[in-house]
Amino acid sequence: MISAQTARRAVWRPLWQLPRRFDLIVSLTKRELAARYRGSVLGILWAILTPVVMIAIFTIIFAGIFKAKFGASSSQWDYALYLFCGLLPWNAFQEALQLSANTIVSHANLVKRVVFPLETLPVSLSLAAIANQLFGTVALIVAALLLRREIHPTILFLPVLLIPQLIATLGAAWLLASLGVFVRDIVQGVTLVLMAWMYLTPIIYPESLVPDRYRSFVNFNPFTPLVRNYRRIILEGNLPDWPGLAYFVAFAIVSFVFGYWWFGRTRKNFADVI
């Protein structure tokens, strides 16, 4: 009994020690951000340019050709704003998960030779993704000001959405970082799953276009209320949808607890497999 309790404590101990690793996490996050744009001409502007190109493509296809629209406005600029607002949190989530799936394997030297807090690697990737999202959010606010000549005070609720989003991302990142050690195909698999998940989330199309027979399925998707709430506080000036946000928070907590538990239970085998 004592040894079992000791083992359980050992699994969770690195998590309680994460605040002590703050300087290391910040250093890793800065290094990750710098490495992405090192040597490029545009540098950090790629964090804004990439979603802008995606928005232009989707706007031409869905708003221009298929006449999709959000709310009462039929303006393609309005569609682009709603699309940008939905893509920002999704891109951050997707980016963190795709990079985390290979992070332990790509840092094999830290696994084999050094006593290193491996749990900080997915954390730094998740924080770097959130930082990129914040750069894009600034661009979104500027675009909304230019096109609508207004900014809503409800944007102050942004941390209420960012914190559970980060919690959910951390859990999923820890889970995939571990799975990436044992199942090398996980990187390709995650790409396919995330692609399907994005199209099943009302990001490039409004929820109103979803047929009634599929509405419950879309509402079951935990990212649906998150995207909805980003649009509510930034573009519509409405308070968050609290029941929907509560559902996403529950998903985030489950993701965080299970993802870290899996990572902590399997990390002792990383060196043997790598």
Q: What is the pLDDT of residues 101-139, one digit of tens each?
A: 999 998 888 887 677 899 999 999 999 999 989 988 988
Residue 144: pLDDT band (50, 70, 90) is confident
Give the integer Cα–Cα distance in Å for 14 and 254: 18
Residue 75: which region, alpha, beta or left (left: phi > 0; alpha: psi -120 to 50)? Answer: beta
Q: Residue 134: how many CB atoms within 10 A of its CB?
A: 15
The candidate with the shortest Cα–Cα distance to 234, out of 161, 175, 183, 164, is: 161
How many CB atoms sit inside 10 A of residue 155's CB?
15
Task: Find out whether 226 and 202 touch, Cβ atoms under 8 Å.
Answer: no
C-alpha distances out from residue 137 to 51, 82, 93, 116, 162, Å? 11, 12, 14, 34, 11
Residues 231-266 pLDDT 10s: 999 999 999 999 999 999 999 999 999 999 999 999
Residues 6+ apart with CB under 8 A from 7: none
